[in-house]
């Protein structure tokens, strides 16, 4: 199967002894850049998918099919093991099962399902509401039932540390661990004391969202069984700024030769895999 090798490489990170930062990617070219630079894993977030596909904020208006299609485009173009943030799984536990089926077919290597009530319920604007532990467990079981390739990593994600406290986050992590997930994705852990407590109670490898300066130490994170730690999704914002500045400069009358930050012809050829296409053109289209 085409995606087996990259799933093995993804699992090797989880089973290793070092924490890595994933490259935040959003389309085929950004994934190829992350691959060429040497990132071990790519991360495609739900928020970035909403920006990329819809040009809309992260309010869970993106559909599963739109998300899976963009993940498939990324995976077709790159050999980078891709983790995705599948949010709430687009519905209840049955929808979660379907979500896993679609994303597995799209070629992802790992995914997380969270226990936040999404989309945001009426009357709770600006507030984060967590599902019950029982419903969260049901979603994890649905995710595992939807997986056909045992190489695919499924992580249980919770924001409880920032909503109801680290003790609840640990209880949820333990419940999802017992349900059979492969990793626990903790969002909102802000101190070493919190992470130390979680690491003492949960055996599975951790994935962390953005952490503060106190915790931004790969040696420390590695010692606490953190294997993936997100740094944020600045590449997409950087791309938006670059497009904005270039279009504005052109609109304001700048000469093309004076534009700043333009990719060289060599870089464009590399990220579009021009050499491969030139070879295929010669092989398939040459007469005789």
For residue 78, being part of any structural domain is answered with yes
With 70 as the cut, is the pLDDT of residue 1 above it?
Answer: no
For residue 121, being part of any structural domain is answered with yes
User: pLDDT of 136-176, one tens digit each?
Assistant: 999 999 999 999 999 999 999 999 999 999 999 999 999 99
* 3-state SS, residue 26: coil
- Rounded to an integer, the average pLDDT of 64-77 is 98
Residues 57 and 51: their CA atoms lie apart, in Å, by 6
With 90 as the cut, is the pLDDT of residue 233 above it?
Answer: yes
Residues 164 and 156: their CA atoms lie apart, in Å, by 17
With 70 as the cut, is the pLDDT of residue 10 above it?
Answer: yes
For residue 274, being part of any structural domain is answered with no
Q: Are 195 and 216 in contact (CB under 8 A)?
A: no
For residue 243, being part of any structural domain is answered with no
Element (H, E) at 85: strand 82-85
Average pLDDT, the chain: 96
For residue 16, being part of any structural domain is answered with yes
* 3-state SS, residue 110: strand
With 80 as the cut, is the pLDDT of residue 210 above it?
Answer: no
Confidence of residue 124 (pLDDT cuts 50, 70, 90): confident
List the structure tokens of 119.
Answer: 């989309």
With 80 as the cut, is the pLDDT of residue 97 above it?
Answer: yes
User: pLDDT of 102-115, one tens digit each?
Assistant: 999 999 999 999 99
Q: Are 228 and 211 in contact (CB under 8 A)?
A: no
What angle do the packed helices 64-77 and 93-105 form, to 10 degrees? 20
CATH number for the domain including 31? Answer: 3.20.20.60
- Rounded to an integer, the average pLDDT of 53-82 is 97
123: left (phi over 0), alpha (psi -120 to 50) or beta: left
The residue segments making up the domain with residue 171 are 4-238
- Rounded to an integer, the average pLDDT of 210-224 is 91
Q: Which residues contact 127 (CB under 8 A, 6 or more apart)?
A: 120
Task: Classify the C-alpha dihedral 131-137-142-148 as positive or negative.
Answer: positive
For residue 267, being part of any structural domain is answered with no
Give rounded-to-5 percent helix, strand, coil for the chain: 50, 10, 35
List the structure tokens of 227.
Answer: 């294997």
With 70 as the cut, is the pLDDT of residue 288 above it?
Answer: no
For residue 231, being part of any structural domain is answered with yes
With 80 as the cut, is the pLDDT of residue 268 above it?
Answer: yes
**Structural domain total, the chain:** 1
For residue 138, being part of any structural domain is answered with yes
The confidence score (pLDDT) of residue 120 equals 87
């Amino acid at each position: 199967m085409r995606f087996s090798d990259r799933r093995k490489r993804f699992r090797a990170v989880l089973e290793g002894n070092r924490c890595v930062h994933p490259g935040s990617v959003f389309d085929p070219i950004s994934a190829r850049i992350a691959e060429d630079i040497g990132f071990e894993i790519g991360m495609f977030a739900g928020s970035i998918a909403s920006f990329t596909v819809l040009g809309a904020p992260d309010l869970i208006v993106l559909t599963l099919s739109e998300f899976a299609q963009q993940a498939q485009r990324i995976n077709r173009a790159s050999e980078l093991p891709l983790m995705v943030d599948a949010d709430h799984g687009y519905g209840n536990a049955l929808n979660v099962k379907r979500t896993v089926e679609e994303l597995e077919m799209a070629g992802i290597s790992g995914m997380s399902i969270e226990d936040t009530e999404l989309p945001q319920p009426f009357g709770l604007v600006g507030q984060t509401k967590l599902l019950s532990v029982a419903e969260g467990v049901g979603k994890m079981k649905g995710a595992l039932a939807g997986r056909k390739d045992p190489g695919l990593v499924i992580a249980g994600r919770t924001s409880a540390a920032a909503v109801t406290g680290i003790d609840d986050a640990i209880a949820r992590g333990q419940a999802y661990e017992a349900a059979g997930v492969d990793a626990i994705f903790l969002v909102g852990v802000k101190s070493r004391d919190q992470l130390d407590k979680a690491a003492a109670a949960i055996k599975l490898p951790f994935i962390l969202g953005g952490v503060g300066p106190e915790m931004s130490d790969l040696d420390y994170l590695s010692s606490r069984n953190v294997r993936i730690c997100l740094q944020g999704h600045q590449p997409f914002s950087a791309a938006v700024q670059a497009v904005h500045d270039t279009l504005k400069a052109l609109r304001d009358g700048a000469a093309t030769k004076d534009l700043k930050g333009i990719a060289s012809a060599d870089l464009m050829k590399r990220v579009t895999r021009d050499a491969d296409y030139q070879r295929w053109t010669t092989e398939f289209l040459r007469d005789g």
